[in-house]
């Protein structure tokens, strides 16, 4: 398992990985490479790509806003999920400079790999949310 910082050129690989993840969980693709490219312009966003035999198997990013650290963890492999989460926790501790830091992780309830990694690392569930949508047959009235 190798972790590396992705480059802009990796946007299609990351999109394919995240779409495979979304398809496995929800039966649909989620992102386009152009959306991933936008992430590279976000200030302070720490990103890592996990590869197994040169094949992407996991992605994580870490951001800080107002003293709150947030991790987005998505993996197709349990080991990748654990390794990425460990790296994000280490990065938070490093950047926080020894001060206490609150790290929040996100995972859909259906994502057993991420939920398992968070649970094993001592994260506690603090809230649940759902995402809802409707397909409109026609545009709404103005």
Q: Which CATH number fits the domain that encloses residue 93? A: 3.40.630.30
Would the pLDDT of 131 be above 80? no
CB atoms within 10 A of CB 60: 27
| 20 occurs within a structural domain | yes
Which conformational region is residue 46 in: left (phi greater than 0), alpha (psi within -120 to 50 degrees), or beta? Answer: beta
- Measured CA to CA, the distance from residue 31 to residue 23 in angstroms comes to 11
Residue 46 confidence (pLDDT) = 98
The more confidently predicted of residues 9 and 127 is 9
In a domain, 128, yes or no: no
Those residues whose C-beta lies under 8 Å from the C-beta of residue 11, and which sit 6 or more positions away, are 33, 34, 36, 37, 40
Pick the closest to residue 111 from 25, 27, 28, 17 (CA basis): 25
Domain count, the chain: 1
80 within some domain: yes
CA separation, residue 7 to residues 77, 92, 138 (Å): 22, 21, 40
Structural domain including 88 reads: 2-120
pLDDT digits (tens, 9 = 90+) for 73-107: 999 999 999 999 999 999 998 988 767 788 999 89
- Mean pLDDT of the 48-69 span: 94
pLDDT at 132: 80
**Cα angle 53-58-64, degrees, rounded to a multiple of 5:** 140
List residues bridging with 46 in a β-sheet. 62
The whole-number average pLDDT for the span 34-39 is 95
Q: Is residue 131 situated within a structural domain?
A: no
Residues 103-129 have pLDDT tens digits of 999 898 899 999 999 999 999 998 877
Give the residue-averaged pLDDT of 50-68. 94
């Amino acid at each position: 398992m190798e972790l590396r910082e992705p480059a802009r050129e990796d946007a299609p690989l990351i999109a394919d990985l995240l779409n495979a993840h979304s398809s496995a969980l929800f039966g649909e693709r989620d992102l386009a490479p152009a959306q991933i490219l936008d992430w590279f312009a976000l200030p302070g966003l720490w990103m890592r790509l996990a590869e197994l035999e040169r094949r992407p198997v996991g992605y994580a990013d870490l951001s800080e806003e107002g003293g709150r650290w947030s991790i987005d963890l998505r993996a197709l492999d349990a080991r990748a999920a654990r390794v990425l989460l460990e790296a994000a926790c280490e990065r938070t501790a490093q950047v926080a400079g020894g001060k206490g830091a609150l790290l929040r992780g996100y995972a859909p309830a259906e994502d057993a790999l991420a939920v398992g990694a968070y649970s094993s690392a001592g994260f506690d569930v603090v809230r649940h949310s759902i995402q809802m949508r409707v397909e409109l047959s026609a545009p709404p009235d103005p």
